Amino acid sequence: MKKLLSILAVSSIAVSTPLATIACGKNNEKPTDEWDFASQKQLMLNIVSGIFQNNLKKDFDPFFYIDEENSAFDHKYNEFAENLEDFNDTTSARYKSIKASIESIINWNSILKEVQTGVVENVNFKQLLVDNQSPLKNGFEVSKINFELQPAAKTVLINFEITSDVSIRDIDGSTIFETISFNSKIAMFQAVDVAEEFNKIKTEYLNHFNDEQISGSFTIESDIGNLKTTAGAIASNLNIKNKVQENLSIIMDQAQTSNIVLLTDNLAIKTSDNAAVDSAAGEVTSQASLSSSRESDINGTYIPELRRLYWDTIFGVEGKEEEFLNNILKSGMGEEQEDAFIKTPPYGLDNINDLIKKHENMSNVFNCYFLNFNYLSSYAQYLPIRTAMESQGSKFKLDMDRDEKTIALFKTEILDLQLEYSGEKFDLPEISIMVRQETKKANTQELEKQFFSDSLKSFRKITNLNESSPSSNPKGQYYLNKPDGWEQYVNQELPIEDYFNEIWSANPEAESLKDNLEITVKIWRWVDGSQSGGTPRNLPEFMKFNQNGDVYFYNHEDPAFAITIMPSISYNFFSKNMSGLMMNGFNILRTGFINDLKGASVWKFKS
């Protein structure tokens, strides 16, 4: 990357993982290159909450079904039945006794130890810590307990909530608190044999879905890169739900309990993009560069043939798009050609090309080896997913032969299952499986080619380069369609997040191409922390255009030199990017123009 920066004019197609995932330092973390307070705060909260939830679930799962002889509690069923109101009185000795028993089950030191390793020692969260101390330094509280009788089954349900305040150093230096909570329940049966039957089912249920083969047997076929969309599709996927139902039938057959019935009417499948692991890793950078003069680029001394290929491709010269795309696919694979791209694997996977060559037409941009690398890593965005699976006892792991078409993983919860006994209903504990997203293509290289092809076509459409030629547009300026009614915004500052989508809507063909695979697109430019006094400014927040139609993208705190760095459109296959670099997709960078809100910009509105 430094080589690219040193020549200033850079044209790149880049594919990378967030820099936060490059092994460095005590806990294999490196500072992210785009400090975004809101996203880093949310990431830290997700990690702390995940550790909190996983450990407490592990602590309390053995107590999900107990009998009244259990040593954790000093009260029998009849005492609950006769004194239920007193148990629900938060000031009573009985309430306080149960509260103390619940507190004694919690292994708080285990939680603090994981938070120390995963958060306090992670340099990316240093600015969020109050006095460099654990965000859980204030401990926990059993905040709610509710007692409910189920007399037909001679059972008492103990519903409880455990909370903790996460301390965070706010952006202005003040201390704020976010409350996280864990909710669970304990079913105490009077009859020992009934509790044993319930635990028999629970054990069979947990062991079955934690089995290596079963846990990884759920799939969804999709070429969509937007992880949130895929997560939604999983939640409503009938094939996955039916397969869960089939496995539940097997579990009940094996448990062989005659008086207990499994209820699946409310069965729910739940996941999210925060529970996803994608298969992009490493970095891909271009050796070519574009300036504001095609002639000087193709007649210069610095890789003129590669520059010519770029210029010919963006202008749509016949046959050049296919040559360009094939070069992307072959780059880094040892082909006899002048590589336009340098593909660098993540640290620890230097032999990736040898591994990929064991498969037919596997992408070296996203693949099952990168997916496995991410899943097994200790990186902040993935660690909570793996630890959640491990803490429940899951034996899930990727199989490189089975998973050669797998491009993402989704930790998916099985929810709202109940057991019925003597007319009373009892919840089963929640458990997670891993749903594998497989490409619909014959192989991942085909998907990679479509991603770059759609990105290139969309880029040419949104900039109207498809209507230009070297003679009509020798500088290669980007002409955007101006949305209707935008004359009122001349010289006004517009938040990119709120307004740039209107530019896409003004060019439906370009929008359709990017939405085909639900590619994520951002305005991006390279201004790292070392260039800007420690504050990276890679994602401009604002845009403005003048009477001449010149369009500018910027931040208020931009360093003076930033006017020479042209913001570009970055196309990313996967929607999640924890570092904010937005360098894991199609991206052509430009120089030779001025982004100073006055001079000639590479971006213009079409007249």
Collapsing DSSP states into helix, strand and coil, what is residue 161? strand
Burial of 531 (0-12, 13-18, 19+ CB in 10 A): middle
Q: Is there a contact between 285 and 526 (Cβ–Cβ < 8 Å)?
A: no
Q: Mean pLDDT over residues 558-575, rounded?
A: 79
Q: How far apart are CA 423 and CA 260, in angstroms?
A: 10
Q: How far apart are CA 299 and CA 327, in angstroms?
A: 21
Q: Which of 22-26, 323-327, 331-335 has the highest mean pLDDT?
A: 323-327
User: Between residues 581 and 378, which one has the greater pLDDT?
Assistant: 378
Report pLDDT digits (tens) over 452-505.
999 999 999 999 999 999 999 999 999 999 999 999 999 999 999 999 999 999
Q: If pLDDT is split at 50, 70 and 90, which confidence band does 333 have? A: low
Report pLDDT digits (tens) over 574-593.
986 533 444 566 778 787 88
Residue 349, pLDDT score:
86
Q: DSSP E strands: which ranges in 532-573?
A: 542-545, 550-554, 568-572
Q: Measuring CA to CA, which residue among 285, 297, 286 is closest to residue 476?
A: 297
Question: Residue 109: CB partners within 8 Å, gap ≥ 6?
Answer: none
Query: In which order are the strands placed within the sheet that holds 542-545?
Result: 478-480, 603-605, 550-554, 542-545, 494-495
Residue 30, pLDDT score:
43
Dig out the tokens for 226 from the structure: 């937007």
Question: Residue 512: CB partners within 8 Å, gap ≥ 6?
Answer: none
Burial of 580 (0-12, 13-18, 19+ CB in 10 A): buried
Q: DSSP E strands: which ranges in 170-305?
A: 175-189, 218-221, 261-263, 268-270, 276-278, 283-286
DSSP state of 26: T
Q: Is there a contact between 99 and 143 (Cβ–Cβ < 8 Å)?
A: no
Report pLDDT digits (tens) over 51-108.
999 999 999 999 999 999 987 899 999 999 999 999 999 999 999 999 999 999 999 9
Residues 558, 38, 171, CA angle at the centre, nearest 5°? 70
Q: How far apart are CA 157 and CA 141, in angstroms?
A: 20
Q: Measuring CA to CA, which residue among 410, 549, 420 is closest to residue 491?
A: 549
Q: If pLDDT is split at 50, 70 and 90, which confidence band does 281 have? A: confident
Number of H helices, E strands in the chain: 19, 23
Bridging pattern class, strands 283-286 and 12-16: antiparallel
Q: How far apart are CA 188 and CA 384, in angstroms?
A: 31
Residue ranges covered by each domain of the chain = 35-190, 192-280+365-440, 283-344+442-605
Exposure string over 360-378, b if 16+ CB within 10 A, otherwise e: eebbbbbbbbbbbbbbebb
CA 266 distance to own-chain centroid: 28
Question: Residue 501: CB partners within 8 Å, gap ≥ 6?
Answer: none
Q: Is there a contact between 572 and 521 (Cβ–Cβ < 8 Å)?
A: yes
**pTM of this structure:** 0.89
Question: Residue 192: CB partners within 8 Å, gap ≥ 6?
Answer: 67, 69
Mean pLDDT lowest for which of 6-15, 222-231, 529-538?
Answer: 6-15
